[in-house]
Amino acid sequence: MANRTYYEALKWASLFVQKEQLDESAASYLLQALSHLDQTHLLINYRKPIPAALDQRYIEAINQYVAGTPPQYIIGTAPFYGEQFVVNKNVLIPRQETEELVEWILTANPQLTLSVLDVGTGSGAIGVTLKKQRPNWQVTLSDLSGAALKVAQENANRLNASVVTVQGDLLTPVAGSQFDLIVSNPPYISHGEEAEMDADVLASEPKIALFADHDGLAIYERLADQLKQGVVKTKQVFLEIGFQQGSTVKRIFKTRFPSASVTVRQDMAGHDRMVRITFN
């Protein structure tokens, strides 16, 4: 019996995913990633038989997706700022909004040399990307999770980005240091929002990187407190925030640093998503 074609495999997967009321685009995404074919070349190969080994792997991948595993974890990589980053269950999958945060940092800081700390780096997407875009910047990645730091270091190695990694809670592992810029995409989801989240995110992505106490604000408060205590000195801080947290995060920093300039910036969807704190 002849192998089914790429088209037949994709049609089967699309119908299966659709029946489960999941995102149908995942079927095409997984086939392209597993076959190493872009959309154009997949179309060119539509009527050709799909290799048996690839077909079997594709069936397994679709079943994994239907069972609740995000496509990026199935493939083992996720796109971010034009690069592919290794991801697994120890780190969050990089989101498009975070690319906008990186773009803001780069636009606002055209300096050739800068010292940067990426707090709660996860996969290293922010810090490694900044190093790739500004090779002369000195970038340090920190995370509480040793497993996450291992992924971040792997991504730095794969992308030829020379960074320093340190393990510990927020600013503690670099206490006494001074950085020109600190950036963080911390856990900011309230535990009360858990019931509204996608089941695959809850099942697959690390909760330590998703949720924070005090309505999702705890990490911002602790970070602001540590800066107030002088644990680390810096000139500016960039943060990713939840879309309803702009005014509250601004208040957290203005309360502790009345003379600081705090700017809330919206993402392309028009939601408050980023904050910049500049210390005078």
Contact between residue 141 and residue 200 where contact means Cβ atoms under 8 Å apart:
no
pLDDT for 3 equals 83
Q: How confident is the model at residue 244 (pLDDT cuts 50, 70, 90)?
A: confident
- Residue 162 tokens read as 């020379």
Name which residue leads in pLDDT, 218 or 222.
222
Give the span between the Cα atoms of 85 and 72, in whole angstroms.
10
How many Cα neighbours within 13 Å face the side chain of 228? 15
Q: How confident is the model at residue 110 (pLDDT cuts 50, 70, 90)?
A: very high
| DSSP structure string for 42-54 | HHHTTTSBPPHHH
Q: How confident is the model at residue 211 (pLDDT cuts 50, 70, 90)?
A: very low
Question: Over 80: is that where the pLDDT of 96 sits?
Answer: yes
Mean pLDDT along residues 149-167: 98
pLDDT single digits (tens) 83-93? 999 999 999 99
Please name which of 65, 52, 84 lies closest in space to residue 25, comparing C-alpha atoms.
65
Question: Over 80: is that where the pLDDT of 33 sits?
Answer: yes
Please name which of 211, 215, 227, 201 lies closest in space to residue 279, comparing C-alpha atoms.
227
Contact between residue 29 and residue 71 where contact means Cβ atoms under 8 Å apart:
yes
**By percentage, how much of the chain surpasses pLDDT 90?**
83
What is the value of pTM for the model shown? 0.89
Question: Over 70: is that where the pLDDT of 24 sits?
Answer: yes
How far, rounded to the nearest angstrom, does the alpha carbon of residue 15 sit from its chain's CA centroid?
Answer: 30
pLDDT for 209 equals 47
pLDDT for 214 equals 56
Domain assignments of the chain as residue spans, ordered by start: 6-67, 86-278
pLDDT for 5 equals 95
The topology (CATH level 3) of 86-278 is Rossmann fold (3.40.50)
pLDDT for 232 equals 97
